[in-house]
Chain A
Amino acid sequence: GAGVSQSPSNKVTEKGKDVELRCDPISGHTALYWYRQRLGQGLEFLIYFQGNSAPDKSGLPSDRFSAERTGESVSTLTIQRTQQEDSAVYLCASSLERTGSEAFFGQGTRLTVV
């Protein structure tokens, strides 16, 4: 596609439920990033993929968070047993390679846990 696409754009879920957030990167981009942006905060790094591998998962806040990438394309971020503190905008970005090239961001998924 022309840009990074994220779905859903908005998600309201009940505390304790699992959610899946999807990211479709720009075709051909080997690097893919997930960030979390809480209200009034900066971008918090969650995980980085190079191809289908995740060499850096250090930003995942707990074992309730996991992510995968398949076909060097689509990535899914899964949050299990959601908590209210998980409420945030989850941003996905992709780039041609590692941090040497520009990262293009999607519009984000706004997650609200009630």
Chain B
Amino acid sequence: AQSVTQPDIHITVSEGASLELRCNYSYGATPYLFWYVQSPGQGLQLLLKYFSGDTLVQGIKGFEAEFKRSQSSFNLRKPSVHWSDAAEYFCAVGGLYTDKLIFGTGTRLQVFP
């Protein structure tokens, strides 16, 4: 069955520190993988996506993610976090043979000055 696990419910980092948000997926074929961000009171915005090709994908706002098939992971990273990055981050999995985008439970990021 198609599923996504985000093991970290809440992460706190200092501004300027590096960030890694974990995402593990389960899908029987080649996955399409997405990271979305939801700022307070806002809708979801796509940060980046992976379909095929280069396993390191670059997104908006300085974020990147690496697809590791052997680990069924698609972790999101940023080298230096800004206070405006405080938000909820969702990982999602879809694919060529599915009509669904399945989301994880999200990771809430807090950034301290």
Contacts and interface: CB of A to CB of B under 8 A. Distances in A.
B105 A41 contact: yes
Contacts of A102: 34, 46, 49
Interface in A28-47: 31, 33, 35, 41-43, 45
A100 B96 contact: yes
A42 B90 contact: yes
A42 B96 CA distance: 23
A48 B99 contact: yes
B24 to A, nearest CB: 14
Interface of B: 6, 32, 34, 36, 42-46, 49, 51, 90, 92, 94-96, 98-106
Interface of A: 4, 31, 33, 35, 41-43, 45, 48, 50, 55-56, 59, 91, 93, 98-100, 102-108
